[in-house]
Structure 1
Amino acid sequence: MKEIVVGFSHSGKYYAEVNLNGKLNVWDTNAGDLRHEYSPSSHLNTAISCVKWIQFENTDVLCIGTQKGLIEFFNVVSGSIMSKINSRSKSIKSFHWIGQYLYVGTDDGTVSKYNLKTNTVETKKILSRMSTIAITTSSKVLTASREIKLWNYPSGELVHKFIGHKNEIFLLHIIEADKCYLLSSARDRFINIWSLSDLKSEPLATLIAEDNISSVYVYSNRNNITVTVTTESGSLHVYQHVLNGCVSYPLKPQGTLQIAADCSKDEEAKQMPIVCTKICESRVFIAYGTRPFLAFENIDLNKLNKCTYLARQDPRKSKTLIGAHIIHPNLTEVKFVEQKKNRSSNLPLETRLQNMSEEIKNTVQTKGESLVHLLVQGLRSNDKNLLESALFVKDERTINNTVSCLPLQSVIMLVKKLIRLSQDRTLISSVSVLWLTAILRIHASLLLANPDVLETFLPLENVLGTRLSNFEELGLLDFKLKALLDRLSFDNRDKDEEQEALLVYNDSDDGDKRTTDEEDAMDQDINGDEDFDSSDFNDEEIDGD
């Protein structure tokens, strides 16, 4: 599975994320050490699907949602579970916390309102399938997948739709200023700002990044907002905007930060990715490095130029950096280097295509990794077009790469989908068999650990038994048809050989005429020879003598 970036706590003392193994890791940002590593009981069957920081009684608490609909509250100070709630629903998709109330969105489209003080469900309503939710101060609910829907809660009345993202949305943030605004972000390069007061169909402003966005943090002071964005390439962008009307052009970042590993003169400098940020007044907290070796700092926002580089020691090479955190680095000693070759969307098309081709050459299993996101999105949304685009691939290398990188919580979903496809016509069932073979080979231990494995694969066993029972008759029929076709083709070939002449001579008209004249001349010679008398010849010879 891919990492789930939870981010910094409200106090900034802790940082959390879910790693590839499905375990929740919590770092102490002051010491820079990994403080807790937690996974739900039987986490292979109850994988974490959603995590949210909340503050309960002035304590940083992690609200953890699982694919089985279980909600757990993890106290990071004591490192223990405070309480659990069984939502009796499908996979938890999103949380939104307001005071003593926790809004929970599940995979079946249900939004529930929990009172944390009484541990009771006050309201529960089925609205729409979602990837994330947000709640306004007027208790209206926003759900988002590829489009954003505004609902009256709990009546379930649809108020408005906002359409402006092509990919699945992972962030909704409410901004309370002179008017109510909404900021939304998907796994692309764009962030849209909408007006919830005017309910316009188009966004008021759009922020654009140089690469696909991985995480977003929003800090608002009335109409003045500051947005920090981390990209998949590991860069940090800082945007500052005033909400005072529509902006027709995309807004570019005012500041960009990249961190490079400090190295010797002979070594080539390598970028260390920035994975998450948090704004606290005029400073920005950053987490950077390669997991699980992360380091934490906070930097003055006013000292970030348009293109800024910081040189830091790689946490993987220094054990002391993991346990020693610099809270306030001395930026006066840091050299801010202007980036000469700036990667921007304004680069010429030829240069961008050349960079793209170089990245493809240097990337292993690119095609397989790209299908993971498409397949997971199709499984979660049950979109037929997405599933067909991802599954109808016959390249074994691509299938193996995709299955090996597939999140653990999506494996069982994919197996059930493939078993249903195996009951379809031959072409579709043959593709499903290729995928099932790869899953059984790569994720055998996960499937055996699932207590429902027999029930899951029972339909497949019935399908295989039905198809194999007719295999002998079908094979015999195929043999007879091939023998009949071979005999027919052999007879047709013999017939064609008998009718075909080995030599064909075509005599022309001139030749016929010429032959007739020669025959007439020969007849005349023969008639002349009949009048010839041999006695005359003898008399002449005698006279000569």
Structure 2
Amino acid sequence: MAGSGARASVGSTMCGSGGGREREETAAAAFSLPAFAAGAHCAFSPHERGLLALSGPDGRLRVWETASSRLQHEYVPSAHLSAACTCLAWAPSSSKEGPQRKKRKSEAVEAGGQFDLLAIGTAVGSILLYSTRKGELQSKLSGHDSKINCVQWHQNNSCLYSCSDDKHIVEWNTQTYKVKCKWKGDNSSVSSLCISPDGKMLLSAGRSIKLWDLETKEVYRHFTGHATSVSTLMFITVRPPNESQPFDGITGLYFLSGAVHDRLLSVWQVRSERKEKNAVMTFTVTDEPIHIDLTISESKEEPVKLAVVCRDGQLHLFEQVLNGYCKKPLTSNCTIQIATPGEGADSTPKPVPILAAAFCSDKENLLIVYGNSLQPVIEKVSLNSTESHICLVRDVRRTLALKTEMAVTKVKTPMVNSEVKTLLPGIPGHSAAIQSSSCKEIIETKRKAGGKEESIEDRLGAMDIDVMKVKSSSGGLPQTDNFAVLLVQGLESNDPEILNKVLQIKKEAMIKKTIARMPVYAVIPLLHELTKRLQGHPYSALQMVRWLKSVLTIHASYLSTLPDLVPQLGMLYQLMESRVKTLQKLSRLHGKLYLLITQVAALEQAQDATAVNQTAKLVYEEESSEEGSDDEMAAEKDSDDNWDEDDEREDGEDREEQSDDEQERAVEKEINGDSDLDPENESEEE
């Protein structure tokens, strides 16, 4: 690979600014360069690379002048924290403005050909059009449902193309700022786009690379070969001028592709006679490419120049004539690194990462951006060296210090009297009286190059702060103002002792003050910590609910701006939902238990009450009442006896009456000569 050879041998010369030569540090070949900060995106303006648009992890857009490295514009989107920048694209130099912008063409000429629109893709699916001439937001395009991965302007500036994680490609009308056409680009996320130099073809990268006809929106060719998602697509050559039809006889059209976590750049050839899907050429680099710039070849004999900035901070330069298939991977013709000069006992130079690089219009000079994304250094380097490995020694700290002092001198410092109290940043809620003379002395002491710097104790004394009180408070319990700092430190270091000390606070007022003074970036980690503790002991959960209530009420506005809040707090939602479901059952059970307990308590209260003695203490009985009662009992007994005798008497009388009736019937029968008796009966009676 090229990386091992680049670090093993270093040449004796190096190219400097304006073609000058400098002595090279031989130890710079052994150091390891830091990785480029994730989330930073940059783009050079197409007109002579005059401007550099750079968006860092903080969400701010900064536009720098490449000639003087001076900051020209700084734009902070309203939702820069939740809708961070994901891609940038400048409008073409030959821009044709819409009807509302025609009257400003004269202003553009007077401004030296400055570019107007800069397309900014965001993480929430919207595209911002920022005007560098006005220094304000021109328009906002909404048509995607997910993160924007790439934006590309058409050559005539009448259309803007974008792709997103929602699997679609959108064609925008830049005059009306409306969706002109939208179609599905792939079955998965579409990661990159590129428009051909003639503006008739479009490359899109998803699971495979597709070549589209922009007129019919139909796929002409598929290219497969990358194991990971494609991050870069660029056309290297232009189509031969003798081809009138879009896809007839394409033989000299090449394009370049790079993928995530891949150290190979593939070159593909668009063929009409053979449907060959393999790459015809590959370039090898030391790490994943983060920024690529090239010079387009307009003929078969003209070589292609390629500048590739890798994640490890190195710049690789390639120069190759595209003449068909090449089996062996091609290594870089030159590798450029940047380092700081060694100081003191340790003379080992420290690496400085290269952020981006671009070829100038003459194709003989190269613009290199190095340092950091907040304060980059832009340098123009001449490509007249034949060395294969170059290390540029630059004192970045001195350059940044000079720029900082120049910026500070432009700030007007107000006069402060001794009686005025000023709020100082750094310590939450701290305020102290600052004497103007002391502050002036401190500033003068700092500005002295050879002067001795004052100690912290002297500075605190100059700011009229009780030093002994600060020292004593550090050993004991932390103050109320420091709880927020302790909580952030505990979340960042994941220290259970600090978190337990802070989260054991039970006073509602102190909890609210601590939550209000927390920085915004620590809200989500605190919610994750509270969710984990809510699943523990019930007593601990009761304490965590107080913190959770304060966080949700105080930082509700910040939480509402987060697009991925639901997946981040999914565990908390599930926990709260399960608790709410059991709340109804628990409330019913609580009601029944309350009724049962009240009834038992009422019964025990009734049993505990003193019983009333119902036995008469004195009974008075009269004798007459006793005799009368005896007579009455006797009379009742006699009446019972008489009742029995009367019943017997009535029965006897009935029997007598029946016998009398029978005798009368018998006499009547005898008189009438009738007899019921048979002869046998008569004889028996006789």
TM class, shorter-length: 0.5 to 0.7
* 2:165 matches 1:107: yes
- Does residue 144 of the first structure (1) align with residue 205 of the second (2)? yes
Change (3 A) 1:92 1:150: same
1:174 to 235, 253, 256: 235
The CA distance in 1 between the partners of 2:146 and 2:230, in whole Å, is 20
Cross-structure match for 1:258: 337
Match of 2:194 among 110, 118, 134: 134
Q: CA deviation at 1:88?
A: 5.6
TM-aligned CA deviation for residue 113 of structure 1 = 1.9
1:539 matched residue in structure 2: none
For the pair 1:24 / 2:61, whether they are aligned, the reply is yes
Letter matched to residue 132 of structure 1 = S
Displacement after TM superposition at 1:3 (Å): 2.7
Q: Is the 8 A contact 1:289 1:315 kept in 2?
A: no
For the 8 Å contact 1:73–1:81, the answer to whether it is kept is yes
What letter matches 1:464 in structure 2?
A: L
Correspondence 1:8 to 2:14:
no
State the Cα deviation string for residues 241-294 of structure 1 (Å, max 9, x = none): 111100000000001111111344633211111110001221111001133232
Q: Contact 2:316–2:333 at 8 Å: present in 1 too? A: yes
- State the Cα deviation string for residues 60-85 of structure 1 (Å, max 9, x = none): 23111223333222222442223333
The 5 A counterparts of 1:368-407 are none
Q: Hey, what's the Cα distance between the residues in 2 that align with 1:237 and 1:51?
A: 23
> Please, which of 76, 86, 111 is the counterpart of residue 142 of structure 2?
86
CA positional deviation for 1:447 = 7.3
Equivalent residue, structure 2, for 1:450: 559
Q: Which amino acid aligns with 1:246?
A: Y
CA distance in 1, matches of 2:368, 2:146: 34
Look up the match of 1:186: 259
Indicate the structure (1 or 2) with the bigger Cα radius of gyration: 2
Paired residues in the alignment total 370
TM-fit CA distance, 1:300: 1.6
Hey, what's the Cα distance between the residues in 2 that align with 1:203 and 1:88?
Answer: 32
Q: Distance in 1 between matches of 2:561 and 2:177?
A: 31
Structure 2 stretches lacking a partner, 5+ long:
1-36, 97-112, 241-251, 407-490, 496-519, 532-547, 586-686
Q: Provide the C-alpha distance between the structure 1 equivalents of 2:571 and 2:392, rounded to a whole number of angstroms.
A: 56
**Aligned residue type for 1:463:** Q
Letter in 2 for 1:185: G
Q: Which residue of 2 aligns with 1:229?
A: 308
After superposition, the Cα gap between the structure-2 partners of 1:210 and 1:461, relative to the gap in structure 1 and judged at 3 Å, is closer
**What SS does the aligned partner of 2:371 have?**
strand
How does the TM-score come out when normalised to structure 2?
A: 0.48
Q: Secondary structure at the match of 1:319?
A: helix
The question of whether the paired residues in 1 share the 8 Å contact of 2:202 and 2:214 is answered with: yes
* Structure 2 counterpart of 1:202, from 278, 287, 301: 278
Aligned residue type for 1:449: Y
Match in the other structure for 1:366: none
Give the aligned partner of residue 278 of structure 1.
358
CA 452–290 in structure 1, closer or farther in 2 if over 3 Å, else same: closer
What is the aligned partner in structure 1 of residue 220 from structure 2?
A: 159
Structure number with the higher strand fraction is 1
3-state SS of 1:302 partner: coil
The 1:255–1:453 alpha-carbon spacing in structure 2 relative to 1, beyond 3 Å, is closer
Cα distance change on mapping 1:308 and 1:321 into 2, 3 Å: farther
Q: How does 1:137-536 map to 2 (within 5 A)?
A: 137=198, 139-153=200-214, 155-177=216-238, 178=240, 179-187=252-260, 188-198=262-272, 199-222=275-298, 223=300, 224-264=303-343, 266=345, 267-280=347-360, 281-303=363-385, 305-315=387-397, 318-320=400-402, 449-451=558-560, 456=566, 463-465=574-576, 467=578
CA deviations 1:298-351 (Å, max 9, x no partner) are 112232520111111114664336799xxxxxxxxxxxxxxxxxxxxxxxxxxx
Q: 1:139, CA displacement in angstroms?
A: 2.9
CA distance 1:318–1:174, shift in 2 (3 Å): closer
Q: Is the 8 A contact 1:254 1:306 kept in 2?
A: yes
Question: Quick one: percent identity of the two aligned structures?
Answer: 26
Task: Tell me by how many angstroms 1:237 deviates.
Answer: 0.5
Residues in 2 aligned to 1:84 and 1:291: alpha-carbon distance in whole angstroms: 25
C-alpha distance in 2 between matches for 1:151 and 1:210 = 32
Distance 1:62 1:245, change over 3 A: same
Tell me, yes or no, if the aligned pair for 1:257 and 1:304 is still in contact at 8 Å: no
Provide the rounded CA distance (Å) in 1 between the counterparts of 2:562 and 2:284: 46
Q: What is the CA distance between 1:146 and its match in structure 2?
A: 4.7
Contact 2:39/2:86 (CA < 8 Å) preserved in 1?
A: no
Q: C-alpha offsets along residues 123-165 of structure 1, whole Å, 9 cap, x if unaligned? A: 2222223111122346333221353123344655443322222
- For the residues of structure 2 that align with 1:323 and 1:83, how far apart are their CA atoms? 36
Equivalent residue of 1:233, what SS?
coil
| Partner-residue secondary structure (3-state), 2:396 | coil
Report the CA distance between 1:105 and its aligned residue: 1.6
User: Does the CA contact (< 8 Å) of 2:367 and 2:381 recur in 1?
Assistant: yes
Q: CA deviation at 1:448?
A: 5.3
Distance, in Å, in 1 between the alignment partners of 2:556 and 2:88 is 25
Cα distance in 2 for residues equivalent to 1:39 and 1:190: 36
TM-score (norm 1): 0.60
Alpha-carbon distance between aligned partners in 1 of 2:349 and 2:66, rounded to the nearest angstrom: 26
Q: Secondary structure of the equivalent of 2:348?
A: coil
Q: Distance in 2 between matches of 1:161 and 1:399?
A: 49
- How far the C-alpha of 1:470 sits from its partner, in A, is 7.2
Secondary structure at 2:574 match in 1: helix
Instruction: Give the 3-state SS of the residue equivalent to 1:82 in structure 2.
Output: strand
- Mapped to 2, the partners of 1:261 and 1:21 lie a distance apart of 26
User: Offset of 1:446 from its aligned partner?
Assistant: 8.0
Q: Is the 8 A contact 1:194 1:203 kept in 2?
A: yes
- SS of corresponding position for 1:176: coil
Amino acid at match of 1:131: S
Residue of structure 2 in register with 1:44 after alignment: 81
Q: Distance in 2 between matches of 1:278 and 1:89?
A: 33
Q: Structure 1 runs of 4+ off > 6 angstroms? A: 396-400, 443-447, 452-455
